[in-house]
Amino acid sequence: MQKQTVQYLLGGIFSLVIAMSIGRFSYTVILPYMQDTFAFSHATAGFLATSNYLGYLVGALVAGRLQIGGKRIPFLQISLVISILTTAMMGFTDAVIAWYVLRFISGVMSALIFVVAASLVLDQLAGDGKAHLSGLFYSGVGAGIALSAVIVSPIHAMFDWNGTWIALALFSVVLLVFIVLFIKPVTQHPQQKQSQTVASQKVPPTTWMKWLILGYSLEGLGYIVTGTFIVSIAEESTSFHGDATFVWFVVGIAAITSCIVWSTLAQRYGYVRTILISMLIQGLGIVLPAFATNTMTLYISAFIFGATFMGITTVATTLARQILPVNSHKILGYLTAGYALGQMLGPSLAGALANYTNSYQYALFGATAVVVIGALCLISGLKYEKVKVGELATQVNLSK
C-alpha cells in the first residue's frame, strides 16, 4: 500500500471522528447530563437531535450538487474548522434556541465532511487497488464513539456538561492538525489499477440506485431512534445497573470492527445481500429494549446496534460508488441525503411518541418495522449478485 494511501486513511478516520463521533453522536452521551441540568422533555431532546439531522440533510443535498473538483481538500479543512467551532460553542451557552442553531450548523458540516472525506479516501483506495479496505476508513466513527463514551463521564465529573463540549472541541483541534498533514493533493494516481478494479466488479445497474436510496433512507429513519436515545433509555431504566455511558462504549467498540467485517462479507457474498442481512439483524437489536431494559438486554442491543449501523453505511456507500464511480461525491451526497431525511424525522417522531406514552417502547417497535421494510426494498438487487457469484466461480476455475 502506498504511503499516501495510508495517510489518507488516517486523515479520513480522524475526519469522521470529528464530524460524526464528536460533532453528531457525542450528543447522545451528553444528553442525559443536559437533561439532568435543565430538565427538558424527551420531545425537546428529540427536536434538538432533529435540528442536527435537518442540517445533515441540507449538507448532504449541498454536497450532491457541489462543483468543487480539485478543491475538495481545502473544502474539507474549512468544514472541519466550522464543525469544531460549533462543538465548542455548545458549551458556552444554555439557551435552547442557540443549541438548535448550533446543532443545525454542526449537522450541515457533518454531512459535508462525511461526503467529501469519503470521496477522497474511497477514490484514493480505488486508485491504489485497495477498495476492499474501505471498512478501515469507516471504523473511525466507532473508534470515536468508544473514545467519547470513555472520556465524557470523567470530563463531566470535572467540568460539568458545558466543559465536556469544550474539551471535545479541543481534542478535535489536535486531530485536525494531523488531517492537514495527512490529506494532501494526490501526487500520482494509478488509474490502471482503478479501471481494472472497477471493471472486475459486478454490481446492479444505475437504474437500481433508487431502491438502494429508498432502503438506505428507511435505515436512517429507523436506526437513529436507538442512536439518539439508547443512553437515555439506560439512564431511566430501574432495571439497568451500571454506568449508562458504558452502553455507548459498547456501541463504539462493536462499530470499530463491524465496518471491516461487513465490507469483507460484502466482497465475498455480495453487497446487496450483506446490506439486507445486516439491516434485519439491526432490527432485532433495536427492538430488544422494547421487551426489557435490564442490563444484559441493553448491552446486547447496544452491541448489535454498533455492529450494524456503520457496517451498513460502509457497504451501502461503497456499493453506490461502484454503481456510479464518476464524480463519487455527488452520488454519495444524494445517498446520504436520503439517509439524512430519515434520521431527521426519526428523533422528533420517537421523542414525541415517548413523551406521549411515557415510554420508548412504541418508538422502538416503529423503528424496527421501518428498518425491516427498508431491508425488503433491496430484495430486487439480489438477482444481480447471482451473476456475480457465477462469474467469480468461473474465474476461480480458470485460474487453477
Check: CB of residue 226 under 8 Å from CB of residue 281. Answer: no
Per-position DSSP letters for 124-186, written without gaps between them:
HHHHTT-GGGHHHHHHHHHHHHHHHHHHHHHHHHHHHHHHHHHHHHHHHHHHHHHHHHH----
The CATH number given to whatever domain includes residue 230 is 1.20.1250.20
Indicate whether 400 belongs to any domain: no
Report d(CA 372, CA 277) in Å as an integer. Answer: 10
Indicate whether 250 belongs to any domain: yes
The three cell numbers locating residue 347: 428523533
Report d(CA 249, CA 338) in Å as an integer. Answer: 28
Q: In this predicted model, what pLDDT tens digit does every residue of 357-384 receive, in sequence order?
A: 988 999 999 999 999 999 999 999 998 8
Report d(CA 93, CA 115) in Å as an integer. Answer: 29
Cα 369 → chain centroid: 20
Indicate whether 365 belongs to any domain: yes
Check: CB of residue 343 under 8 Å from CB of residue 221. Answer: yes
pLDDT at 327: 63
Work out the burial of residue 181: count CB atoms within 10 Å of its CB; fewer than 13 is exposed, 13-18 middle, 19 or more buried.
exposed
Cα distances from 346 to residues 51, 123, 217, 351, in angstroms, run: 11, 32, 11, 8
Three-state secondary structure call for residue 24: coil
Q: Give me the phi and psi of 144, to 5 degrees please.
A: -70, -40
pLDDT at 115: 87
CA proximity to 103, closest of 56, 156, 33: 56
Question: Which stretches of the chain score pLDDT less than 70?
Answer: 69, 187-202, 326-328, 387-400
Indicate whether 76 belongs to any domain: yes
Check: CB of residue 225 under 8 Å from CB of residue 286. Answer: yes
Report d(CA 97, CA 94) in Å as an integer. Answer: 9
Indicate whether 193 belongs to any domain: no
Q: In this predicted model, what pLDDT tens digit does every residue of 126-140 receive, in sequence order?
A: 888 887 788 889 888
Indicate whether 196 belongs to any domain: no
The three cell numbers locating residue 337: 441525503
What are the E-state strand segments in the chain? none
Number of structural domains, the chain? 1
CA proximity to 286, closest of 361, 338, 236: 361
Three-state secondary structure call for residue 260: helix
Indicate whether 188 belongs to any domain: no
Domain that holds residue 317: 3-183+201-395
pLDDT at 65: 80
Indicate whether 189 belongs to any domain: no
Global pTM reads 0.79
pLDDT at 196: 41
